[in-house]
Structure 1
Amino acid sequence: MRIALHQTRSQPRTPGAPGLTALENAAREAAARGARLLVTPELSLTGYALPDPAQLAEPAQGPGAAAVSRIARQHGVAIAYGYPERGEGGALHNSVQLIGPDGAARANYRKTHLYGPYEAEHYTPGDQLPVQAELDGIRFGLLICYDVEFPEAVRAHALAGTDVLLVPTALMRPYETVAETLVVARAVESQLYVAYANRVDREGEFDFAGLSCLAAPDGTVPVRAAGSGEALLVADIDPAALRASRERNPYLADRRPELYAH
């Protein structure tokens, strides 16, 4: 199965009308290159450094979801996109939603590990892990940026059978080591693919590092952005290679959880 990672900068947006031109162009190109799934960065519908994310927040089935659904159906490609979600009781969540190639919502995940004072000020952490959906016989899981830096979060996905972990991201400088080293380690230690789609350019005080990549369970990186510019990366997920890697590296089977329950 071929997937695409959209490394991009923020697009113009206004309340009720998220900037979708770049997303539509990326979906068109991804489909033309044979991809079945497009992964976009954290908060891709609105931008990350918003003065007040509540002004652009919407429910999971709001106008942004409807627009993404139309794009997915038109191009026959599933889309994982980030957005500020207005949840129950007015709580604001940093969320990612997976829309299938038929335009139907498949899964919605709220970031469980908030990063830094900016996120803590504006968002409420989610409390559900793992969140998964199946597409073309492959089980996909959802995390967001800082979440993947916690081995427990990734291992929870591995134990629940996730094959490919989708991680919309807003990784900032000077933390490039997360994309270059830690994401690859997570793929190896939990024996799954990690699709890591980052932002680029500056927003307010934040300088995003790019370095989007697909990390494979054998420690290879089938594709990585060469620099910090915009890019659409395309690579293949190979279920047979995943099965073979899990046989060679039986970390999950060899665990002794009674020794490290906490």
Structure 2
Amino acid sequence: MPALRTALLQSSGRPGDVAANLAALEDAAARAATTGAGLLVSPELFLTGYAIGDDVAKLAEPADGPAATAIAATAARHGVAVAYGYPERDGERVFNSVQLIGADGARLANYRKTHLFGCFEQEQFTPGEHAVVQAELAGLTVGLMICYDVEFPENVRSHALAGTDLLLVPTAQMHPFQFVAEAVVPVRAFENQMYVAYVNRTGPEGEFEFVGLSTLAGPDGTARARAGRGEDLVHGEVDPDFLAASRAANPYLRDRRPGLYASLV
């Protein structure tokens, strides 16, 4: 099975300007396609911006809203699947969500962030209730998660046990927590034997300073691609053959003793 070339869009876009951020996704998809990428991943709440206060609810859209339609057209136009972060409106509730659109423009999966970080998120969003959301893409089982979710080991282990090969994690990681990108994410990939695409915002936004360092971590615990602190589009390969070999050699999941851990859940 061929590797899936994956593009990580490290950018904060233009907070509060959905049209500008849709245009940025169009440009990134076009650039990703020229490199042979089959998947483009953008950061948490890329569609609207993160630190925009109550405007996040005003700009929220349904999962099948106008922005989804526009991004589906972008994906189909360039033949690149797109995962994007956005505020999702469902009736009176607003969720911090990520949606995966296939390279043919089909909506493949939508995930609502389950672990909300800090006062801003807890005031603006309703937490999701489904830890494991997956889709099939290019022969891989792709899982979805958002930022703070990946810092809970039980969350990522649930994906491992469900067969996730590539975990997409749009994020808004801020100073002083850059150790998550540098250390936690590669360890999560290693201990769960999967690829993890952790894609961050960058630069100042409101009261926050986003640290960049977007990372594609492999099942060997190494960063297969890593951005710096500024705007960037970096690429890495998700190799199914390497993943299979790594899983055969690494005994972590085989040597688990779930009966000993019952008290943890």
TM category, shorter: over 0.9
- Please give the per-residue CA displacement for 1:76-129, whole angstroms capped at 9, x wherever unaligned: 000000000002x41110000000000010000000000001100100000012
Quote the offset at 1:12 in angstroms.
5.3
TM-score of the two chains, using structure 1 as the length reference: 0.97
Pair 1:256 & 2:257 matched = yes
Cα–Cα, structure 1 residues 92 and 18, in superposed 2: closer, same or farther, change >3 Å? farther
> For the Cα contact (< 8 Å) 2:116–2:127, is it kept in 1?
yes
Partner of 1:141: 143
RMSD (Å) for aligned C-alpha atoms: 1.1
> For the Cα contact (< 8 Å) 2:167–2:194, is it kept in 1?
yes
Partner of 1:233: 234
**Which one of 69, 77, 82 corresponds to residue 72 of structure 2?**
69
Quote the offset at 1:14 in angstroms.
4.5
- How many residues were matched structurally? 259
Partner of 2:187: 185
Pair 1:113 & 2:115 matched = yes
In structure 2, C-alpha distance between the alignment counterparts of 1:57 and 1:218, rounded to whole Å = 38
TM-score of the two chains, using structure 2 as the length reference: 0.95
Gaps spanning 5+ residues in structure 2: where?
Answer: none
Pair 1:200 & 2:237 matched = no
Quote the offset at 1:64 in angstroms.
0.8
Quote the offset at 1:252 in angstroms.
1.1
Q: What SS is found at the alignment partner of 1:19? A: helix
Quote the offset at 1:253 in angstroms.
1.3
In structure 2, C-alpha distance between the alignment counterparts of 1:51 and 1:192, rounded to whole Å = 35
In structure 1, C-alpha distance between the alignment counterparts of 2:83 and 2:108, rounded to whole Å = 10
Pair 1:58 & 2:61 matched = yes
Q: Where in structure 2 are the equivalents of 1:1-262 lying within 5 Å?
A: 1-11=4-14, 13-14=16-17, 17=19, 19-52=21-54, 53-87=56-90, 89-225=91-227, 227-261=228-262, 262=264
Q: What SS is found at the alignment partner of 1:208? A: strand
Quote the offset at 1:10 in angstroms.
2.6
